[in-house]
Structures are given as C-alpha cells and as structure tokens.
Amino acid sequence: MAEQHWVEVDGLVLPRPVAGHPALELVNTFSGWDGTHASDYLETYDHLAVLAGELDLLPAGDVQRLRRAAHRQPEAAAAALERACTVRAVIRDAALDPSDGEAVGALTVATRSAATGVQLVPGHPARWRVQGISPDDLDRPSDAFAWVAADLVTRPEVARVRACPGLGCGWVFLDTSGRRRWCSMAWCGNRAKVRAHAERTRSRR
C-alpha cells in the first residue's frame, strides 16, 4: 500500500512531514498552490496548535492550554487561524525568494508580536521557542512559525528551498542533496511518471 500524504496526531489529520524545516511544514498544510485541486489541512485552530506542538515549537502543556482557550473563544480562534493562513503564504513567498522585498517585509511584520517572548532553548543545536506573554495568546503558534521562518530566510540553506512541481501540490522542502525535485517520489513523482507514460502512449497512437 502506498504511503499516505497524512498522519494522525491526537485524533487530527495533519500532512506527513517531508519539508525538513518546521516553517516549511506549515506551508505544506495547504496543497494546490498552483490553483488546482486545492486542499487545506488547517481545518480548525486545534490543527494549528497541535502542528506547532508536534514540530516542537510549543511545549505540550501550552498546546493544551491554547486549545482550551480556543474552545472558550471561538471568534478569537477563527481570527488566529485566519492569521496563520496569511503567515503561511508569506512564509512560502519569502522562503522561495528571500530577495522579494514585499514578502520579507510581510514576514518581518509577522515576527514583531513574537519578539518579546522568544527564547533560545538549549540543545545540540539550540532552538528558538516563542514563550509568549500570556499562555492564552492564540497567536502564539503563528508567532512561532513566523520566527523560525525568519531565521531560515537569513541562513544560506534558504537557497535550497524548492517547490514541488506536482499538479495540485506546490509543497516546499529543503533540497539537501541538490537532486530532489518532488515533495515525495512516491506521491507527485510517481503521478508525473504515470502521466508522462500515458502521454507518450497517446502520441504513439
């Protein structure tokens, strides 16, 4: 059986991580960046918070507090989810072209609310974590993703960010080998091979 595009985390369906960087994994909660076959994994605020926790951007206890706060404040949660979707698109644009002044400027704006709460967490390597002023700040997941995205676009490896050319995909990833083309050869790569084979067969006929 072919590997699924998704995984289940705490009862929620999220995209299988293939990007190699947490900021890019947020981008990959949406597919169809080319305008075809669009689908979105960020169905609820719970999906956003759980994703941030799964990628180790927020502590597990904070994720649970945020989810409870979101359930108490559905309108605020909807606004926070909408902001996350905006940040997601900004991250994609800035990561694919860090010379794009508009995209980088928008990412700068997105990081400002994170700046007062960001901390370096010790480790090998150390990592950024957005602690936040209030444990109930529903923008904390977006802030965390924006901050690690801003860190990525300042590093040389941003030159290795690629977008999958698969129809209805557009997922992004770090091409560490210099030879990677697809988000996954098992998904978009194989579908492209099947389409190419079908086109060759039709042309011969």
More reliable by pLDDT, 198 or 143: 143
Per-residue pLDDT, 202: 61
DSSP run (H or E) holding 158: none
Beta bridge partners of residue 6, listed in sequence order: 15
- Read off the pLDDT band of 21 (50, 70, 90): very high
Interval 139-160 mean pLDDT: 96
For 121, the 3-state DSSP assignment is strand
Locate the DSSP E strands across the chain. 6-9, 12-15, 30-31, 39-40, 118-121, 127-130, 161-163, 172-174
pLDDT tens for each residue of 111-120: 998 887 788 8
Residues in the chain: 205
Q: Contact at 8 Å (CB) between 94 and 107?
A: yes
pTM of the model as a whole = 0.90
Question: CA end-to-end span of the chain, whole Å?
Answer: 32
